[in-house]
């Protein structure tokens, strides 16, 4: 593969997972306005942002293959992003306590003016959480850079009763599905001699 592959994300979790698909890639986080259109369905928000991120970085590197991604947590129709502070993290975890919620990761692969995007959904159920459970977890600092204020791959696993769907999607990148989209993208848009 001759083209450079660029991940438009600073997430160490996404970087680690992308290594299963691409051995060598560069990292250029997309600093974009993440304001969402008012009429967009909650389940489409992550893919919308992934497309914007990939498009922004692709504009800087039009010959590269750019992968953009975004993850949102949705509970009772409300999108939970990354908490701004400990107080917001506590509020988010109280909303998730004892409930099922959706984790949707949107991904976009982009090269020049050609792109492919998709969303992956995983349903996650939390155990009922006491105030002590929540405060103990928030005090670790782990919730602060994660959508929904938890990381399933870390101490957040102690909050989770069960999941339906792709575990790695909850971590931040639906790796197996992305591998299939990535391979098809390369095959469709030029083969190994061009990409």
* CA separation for the pair 44, 38 (Å, rounded): 12
Name the pTM for this structure: 0.91
Q: Are 166 and 160 in contact (CB under 8 A)?
A: no
Give me the number of domains the chain comprises.
Answer: 1
Q: Is 85 left (phi over 0), alpha (psi -120 to 50) or beta?
A: beta
C-beta neighbour count of 59 within 10 angstroms: 12
Q: Are 4 and 13 in contact (CB under 8 A)?
A: no
> Per residue in 65-120, pLDDT tens?
999 999 999 999 999 989 999 999 999 999 999 999 999 999 999 998 899 999 99
> Per residue in 14-66, pLDDT tens?
999 999 999 999 999 998 988 889 899 999 999 999 999 999 999 999 989 99
For residue 189, what pLDDT band results from cuts at 50, 70 and 90?
Answer: confident
Asked whether residue 190 carries a pLDDT value surpassing 80, the answer given is no
Residues 31, 33, 70, 133: which is the catalytic one?
70
Asked whether residue 175 carries a pLDDT value surpassing 70, the answer given is yes
**Could you confirm whether 183 is annotated as catalytic?**
no
**Range(s) of the domain holding residue 147:** 5-194
> What is the CATH number for 151?
3.90.950.10
Predicted pLDDT of residue 28: 96
C-alpha count within 13 angstroms, C-beta hemisphere, residue 81: 9
């Amino acid at each position: 593969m001759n083209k450079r592959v660029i991940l438009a994300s600073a997430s160490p979790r996404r970087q680690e997972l992308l290594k299963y698909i691409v051995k060598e890639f560069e990292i250029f986080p997309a600093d974009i306005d993440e304001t969402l259109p008012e009429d967009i369905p909650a389940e489409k928000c992550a893919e919308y942002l992934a497309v914007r991120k990939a498009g922004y970085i692709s504009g800087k590197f039009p010959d590269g293959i750019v992968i953009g991604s975004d993850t949102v947590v949705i509970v009772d129709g409300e999108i939970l992003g990354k908490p701004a502070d400990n107080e917001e993290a506590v509020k988010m975890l109280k909303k998730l306590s004892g409930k099922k919620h959706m984790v949707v990761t949107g991904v976009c692969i982009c090269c020049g003016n050609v792109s492919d995007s998709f969303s992956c959904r995983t349903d996650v159920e939390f155990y009922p959480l006491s105030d002590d459970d929540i405060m103990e977890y928030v005090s670790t600092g782990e919730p602060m850079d994660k959508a929904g204020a938890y990381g399933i791959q870390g101490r957040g696993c102690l909050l989770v009763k069960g999941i339906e769907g792709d575990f790695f999607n909850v971590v931040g990148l639906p790796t197996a599905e992305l591998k299939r989209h990535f391979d098809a993208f390369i095959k469709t848009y030029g083969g190994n001699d061009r990409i």
